[in-house]
Structure 1
Amino acid sequence: MMQITSRKFRDVKIENFNLTSEFNIAIEQAEKKYRLLINRKYNKHRKKLFSDVVNFIKTDKIGIGDLCYMPSPTADINIFISQKEYTSKDFYTKLEILDSAITPNYLLWFLDQKPVKEYILCYGVGAIFTYIPKEVFYKIEIALPKRNKNPKINEIILHANDSVFRILLDQYYQQYLDNFKKGNFMTSAILAGAIAETFLHNYLLEVGLSEQLLNQKTLGAIIGLAEAYLVDREILDFPLVHFKDVQKLRNSAVHPALAKGKIEREEEFESKDFDCFNNIIKYFGL
């Protein structure tokens, strides 16, 4: 008998939610483990939604004792109680706790439990840094402590290698390589465009652009936003030109009129056409 997995519509609406079967099966398994934890271990605890007890705040200053959410260059996510002050023209993210029953240490301890971490990381995305939409955290139920509980934990790390999205991205790249080796350059061009769009979309999230601004944007529009972002910043090695070349390559494969014109001119896709994509992979890594 075929196994059927269903997803709630509110889950599908989450930014970057993926509808492929591999992703949804992994989500289903992680969610079951998380629900077992909540319903068994904490069945006699009062529970509140994360969104009711914690708020994400963008700020250019972090003070001692603030609870911070910060991606690291190793592609992990650090959530920690700050031991020093930070100031930057770029925005930091901190977690403001709204319920006095929960302390920063307790929140870290709760999120550090394996079923909770694995469920959250199912939605992790990121080309350089891992990024998890705040809507994912807002889905989590927090079990309130029965008595004053303040465990001595000051930091947790969400490891990016647990991210299902990263596994899927590797699968897409493997499909690209398989098609490229077989000379299926038209299919390779389409996959290269999809991967490049994912890289650039996540890069802009990581540097602070809002999800709403990026929502429903295609590769061309995202390239435009990236170009605007880079105007006043000395990031001289960013492969913006290569992104534009990949867009042209993808369009020539996916748009019937362009593909027809290419055939009429007896132009063929060649391996050298993918040098632009290779430069993007070299810059971001995969």
Structure 2
Amino acid sequence: MPLSAFVGSIRSNETIPSGTLVVMASGDRRLRLKVLDHDTPHKGFSQPLPLNEFAVAHKVTAHYLLWYLSQELVAGYLVQNATGAVFLRVPRKLLLEIPVPLPTRVRKISSAIEYSPVKTNNEFSRLIAELNNDYLLNVKNARFRTALILAGATCEVILYQLLIEQGVKPSLLKDDRGLGFNKLLDYVRVLRLDAAPGFPMSQLVELQRHRNHAVHASLLVNKPQTLSLSDLECFNPIVKYFGL
């Protein structure tokens, strides 16, 4: 039977009850499937799957749905068809059409509360992987100036893609001849993307400052600065947040 046979809907600004399975876009190239452990406001960024009476009558639970949607073939299908590269979203119509067997056909159900497959088979992920590999190579060889430049380039690519996925017209960014790290951060502030829990705004600003010292001629000539591994520490929370 399709998933739609087992779930209802919750409108934006309503409360998602504890124990509900939610398909979430977390901003780290992952599609997060989670059974909530507390009541949560529905802000419209996730897809709650509240069970209906039919599901209850047939012993379909949130943990069962999590277990089933986490199976390799099913999870792979969801990730493959998810839109976006930073914030993954599965079209609701596609999600609700996923065929789900009744639990009487399954021997054992995992008690896990979260599963988060990552999307890697796209051009964005390949570019990020290439930049990150070059970054790590330069860190290993203590070429910290080059590493900072690569870290900055990585962040610019991520922010560029993030803005597009949040509704900024690609042509607006493409035609902006003054677009750089600083202006990308300005866009993030204007759209209040930095209000998301855990968003590493202060670390991005710090990295941009260090990157400027590594790349701008006026700073290189007039304010020479020795760069070290400690100048790269601000990149670690960025890596963790965006799942590099």
TM-score where L is the length of structure 1:
0.45
The correspondence of residues 112-123 of structure 1 with structure 2, limited to 5 A, is none
Cα separation, 2, equivalents of 1:284 and 1:181: 22
Q: Secondary structure at the match of 2:232?
A: helix
The correspondence of residues 56-71 of structure 1 with structure 2, limited to 5 A, is none
Cα separation, 1, equivalents of 2:217 and 2:234: 22
- Residue matched to 1:191: 150
- 1:202-248 CA-to-partner distances (Å, cap 9, x unmatched) read 222222222233333211111001011218x8424211111111111
| Alignment of 1:180 onto 2:142 | no
Whose strand proportion is higher, 1 or 2?
1
- Residue matched to 1:237: 198
Q: Secondary structure at the match of 1:160?
A: coil
The one-letter code sitting in structure 2 at the alignment partner of 1:172 is: L
Offset at 1:249?
1.4
| Alignment of 1:165 onto 2:116 | no
The one-letter code sitting in structure 2 at the alignment partner of 1:257 is: S
Q: Secondary structure at the match of 1:161?
A: coil
Of the three residues 180, 186, 197, the one matched with 1:224 is: 186
| Alignment of 1:278 onto 2:236 | yes
Cα separation, 1, equivalents of 2:240 and 2:138: 19
Structure 1 residues 206 and 187: CA distance shift in structure 2, 3 A: same
The one-letter code sitting in structure 2 at the alignment partner of 1:176 is: Y
CA contact (8 A) 1:125 1:163 kept: no
Identity %: 28
Offset at 1:130?
5.0
CA contact (8 A) 2:84 2:165 kept: no
- Where does structure 2 lack aligned partners over 5 or more consecutive residues? 1-11, 13-22, 32-41, 46-79, 90-95, 99-117
- Where does structure 1 lack aligned partners over 5 or more consecutive residues? 1-60, 62-69, 77-86, 91-120, 132-152
| Alignment of 1:261 onto 2:211 | no
The correspondence of residues 63-142 of structure 1 with structure 2, limited to 5 A, is 72=25, 75=30, 126-127=85-86, 129=87
Offset at 1:161?
2.5
- Residue matched to 1:118: none
- 1:70-99 CA-to-partner distances (Å, cap 9, x unmatched) read 9955646xxxxxxxxxx9777xxxxxxxxx
CA contact (8 A) 2:151 2:235 kept: yes
Structure 1 residues 154 and 89: CA distance shift in structure 2, 3 A: closer
Offset at 1:258?
0.9
The one-letter code sitting in structure 2 at the alignment partner of 1:230 is: R
RMSD of the TM alignment (CA)?
Answer: 3.7
Of the three residues 154, 158, 162, the one matched with 1:203 is: 162
Cα separation, 2, equivalents of 1:206 and 1:230: 14
The total of aligned residue pairs comes to 154
TM-score where L is the length of structure 2:
0.51
Cα separation, 2, equivalents of 1:175 and 1:226: 26
Cα separation, 1, equivalents of 2:140 and 2:199: 27
